[in-house]
Amino acid sequence: MPKEHFPCLLLLNDIHISKDNIPEFTANWQEALDICHRMDVHEIALGGDLFLSRAAQSLDVLLAVHDALLSAAESGIRVVMAEGNHDKVDQEDPRGYCHVFDQHPNVLVADDYLSLPAPEGQHFILHLISYFPEDGSFCDKLETVKKNALQPEKLNFLYIHEGINGALSQPGDKELPTNIFGDFDKVFVGHYHNRTIIPCTRIEYIGSSRQHNFGEDEEKGYTVLYNDGEHEFIRNQVNTRYRTLDVPLEEAGIHLADQLEEIRAEGRYKVRVRVHCLPEQVAGVDRTKLLEAGASKVEITTAESHPTKITSTELFERYDKGKIRESYEEFCRERRIEDPELGIIYLSQIDGTTCGD
């Protein structure tokens, strides 16, 4: 008698392999394979941003991905890939870096979209669309899926890599409206790294497969789909985690040092300590002691006890989210930073407060 409820597909996205994080990528990928082994899952869907750099991939990066895909093949696991924005040089081109591997016998790469067949006992169809610009051709690709690929006798799930209005605290200028996804029973999304469900919708950002820096929360990992359409989040356990401890100056002494030593003993965290104090108290912060106790980074945040009036007109320029983003993009141009998009995603999470009011 066939099982009525069983796992059948693992989703992960935003792996962001680069020449600087190959061991982290390898551990991340192996954990995904181990989950598949444990749960008897034979298919992985990668929802974009396998790579970090859009400019070029080094040989060691390409070989690491090559070896990861071979490991999946040896385990009898098929890997289906949709391109993310970091996986393409030209964002409107159907082909990106993932297509380098599309001749592996266990690899299938979407040019624009793919609809995965549902084996016997599976009650949903998963449609994947590669990244295309939100203000470009993505909506055309979505309409094509709606017109040609939906199956009314099944649950229709969508897996994409896009910015959608409502996922961040402040909307982006080019984000997609939620109402265009109403034909789908569930929408799984990569691109923004923190997990969130857009209120009053069936749209869920499933989070990146691991933490990449202190700006991300710890809820990272994998999403497993079951044959009846249910899904389960499985937290990443193998990669380094990032934690921020915010403390006032009076709590930055021996007890904090003890806490840092305990965290270091676990061997799982990089810790940023932010000490909050008045400007005249900065000299009292013992950075060295905190670093020796296990902090990876120590920052000091000061608050003016008596606000100082500044008369320079330039300093009263309004710095809202748009102005901050403009300054950041100019910074990247001046320093020839090849791909500022990841930073822009984080800037998009700034609330609407305007500096200089």
- With contact defined as beta carbons under 8 Å apart, do 26 and 68 qualify? yes
Residues 279 and 141 in one domain: no
Interior/surface letters 39-59, b for 16+ CB within 10 angstroms, e for the rest:
bebbbbbbbbbbbbbbeebee
Q: How far apart (Å, rounded) are the C-alpha atoms in residues 91 and 187? A: 22
Top-confidence residue, 92 or 308: 92
Torsion of CA 191, 102, 112, 83, to 10 degrees: 10
Judged against a pLDDT cut of 50, whether residue 57 lies above it is answered with: yes
What confidence score (pLDDT) does residue 345 get? 62
Give 37-77 as a DSSP string.
Answer: HHHT--EEEEES-SBS-SS---HHHHHHHHHHHHHHHHTT-
What confidence score (pLDDT) does residue 171 get? 78
- pLDDT > 70: what percent of the chain? 84
- pLDDT > 90: what percent of the chain? 77
Q: What is the pLDDT of residues 67-78, one digit of tens each?
A: 999 999 999 999
Question: Which band of pLDDT confidence, cut at 50, 70 and 90, is reported for residue 6?
Answer: very high
Question: Which band of pLDDT confidence, cut at 50, 70 and 90, is reported for residue 170?
Answer: confident
What confidence score (pLDDT) does residue 346 get? 57
- With contact defined as beta carbons under 8 Å apart, do 16 and 52 qualify? yes
What confidence score (pLDDT) does residue 4 get? 86
Cα angle vertex 31, ends 267, 66, to 5°?
Answer: 115
Q: Is residue 295 part of a domain?
A: yes
Q: What is the pLDDT of residues 214-257, one digit of tens each?
A: 999 999 999 999 999 999 999 999 999 999 999 999 998 889 99
Pick the range with the lowest mean pLDDT from 89-93, 287-291, 322-326. Answer: 322-326
Q: Is residue 2 part of a domain?
A: no
Q: Is residue 1 part of a domain?
A: no
What confidence score (pLDDT) does residue 150 get? 97
Pick the range with the lowest mean pLDDT from 22-31, 90-99, 127-136, 170-179. Answer: 170-179
CATH value at residue 279: 3.40.50.620
Total of domains in the chain: 3
The predicted model scores a pTM of 0.83
Q: Is residue 66 part of a domain?
A: yes
Residues 294 and 152 in one domain: no
Kindly report the average pLDDT of the chain as a whole number. 88
Mean pLDDT of 79-100: 97
- With contact defined as beta carbons under 8 Å apart, do 79 and 108 qualify? yes
Judged against a pLDDT cut of 70, whether residue 180 lies above it is answered with: yes
Top-confidence residue, 322 or 112: 112
What confidence score (pLDDT) does residue 173 get? 84
CB contact set of 260 (below 8 Å; sequence gap of 6+) = 271, 273, 290, 293, 294, 295
Residues 284 and 165 in one domain: no
Judged against a pLDDT cut of 70, whether residue 193 lies above it is answered with: yes
Residues 110 and 149 in one domain: yes
Q: How far apart (Å, rounded) are the C-alpha atoms in residues 224 and 188? A: 11
Judged against a pLDDT cut of 90, whether residue 169 lies above it is answered with: no
Judged against a pLDDT cut of 90, whether residue 328 lies above it is answered with: no
Pick the range with the lowest mean pLDDT from 133-137, 279-283, 325-329, 335-339. Answer: 335-339
What confidence score (pLDDT) does residue 90 get? 97
Q: Is residue 253 part of a domain?
A: yes
**Structural tokens at position 342:** 């990841």
Domain carrying residue 262: 241-308
Residues 159 and 181 in one domain: yes
Mean pLDDT of 308-333: 50
Judged against a pLDDT cut of 80, whether residue 66 lies above it is answered with: yes
CATH value at residue 16: 3.60.21.10
